[in-house]
Copies of this chain bind each other. A is one copy, B any other.
Amino acid sequence: MSKDTLPGLTACNNATLRRATRKIGQYYDDVLAPSGLKATQQGLLYQIHIGNEPAMGAIAASLIMDLSALGHTLKPLIRDGYVETFADPADRRIKRVRLTPLGLAKLDEAMKLWHIAQQRFEEVVGKDQAATLRAVLGDVAELDFDLPPAS
């Protein structure tokens, strides 16, 4: 096969996913920009909000995110006063997270913008298509890609 006819990145599941994530991420970020939050931050605040003062590990697991990455991502939100943490009294290894009143207000503000982004996304992509996409991505995220058992 000549170099000129090699397929683009469309064949790679991961590359296609990243490309789409950059595109959609920019779109959601743009719409959320007036709130001063990135889409990732809005999502994180939301995740904290719907949890019951969740532990860091629980948040990381929900988001399929590395625990230390979560710690890093949380720092600007703590610095800006949207989020606060406290040790679990029953197990001081565990650090729980909650929104501050300021954080809750900021989340409300961001959610209004999120609804706009989400609605326009559904219009452009199509409601069914979007639902299918979320369903497939949700499924894929739950799968187990572990290497074949070394046994």
Q: Which residues of A are at the interface with B, using a C-beta cutoff of 8 A? A: 3-4, 6, 8-25, 27-28, 30-31, 39-40, 43, 46-47, 49-50, 52, 62-65, 114, 117-118, 120-122, 124-125, 129-130, 132-134, 136-138, 140-141, 143-145, 147
Report the Cα distance A87→B94, complex, angstroms. 54
Q: Are B46 and A137 in touch, CB under 8 angstroms?
A: no
Q: Are A47 and B9 in touch, CB under 8 angstroms?
A: yes
Which chain B residues lie closer than 8 Å to A15 at the CB level?
Answer: 39, 43
Residue in B closest to A18 when the chains form the complex, CB atoms: B21
Given contact pairs A124-B143, A145-B124, A138 touches B10 in the complex (Cβ within 8 A)? yes
Q: Are B11 and A134 in touch, CB under 8 angstroms?
A: yes
Smallest CB separation, A31 vs chain B (Å): 8
Q: Are A129 and B136 in touch, CB under 8 angstroms?
A: yes
Q: Are A39 and B14 in touch, CB under 8 angstroms?
A: yes
Which chain B residues lie closer than 8 Å to A129 at the CB level?
Answer: 136
Which chain B residues lie closer than 8 Å to A19 at the CB level?
Answer: 63-64, 137-138, 141
Q: Are B17 and A24 in touch, CB under 8 angstroms?
A: yes
Report the Cα distance A8→B43, complex, angstroms. 10
Residue in B closest to A142 when the chains form the complex, CB atoms: B23
Report the Cα distance A141→B52, complex, angstroms. 35
**Contacting A125 at CB < 8 Å: which of B28, B50, B140?**
B140
Report the Cα distance A23→B147, complex, angstroms. 14
**Contacting A132 at CB < 8 Å: which of B12, B46, B136?**
B136
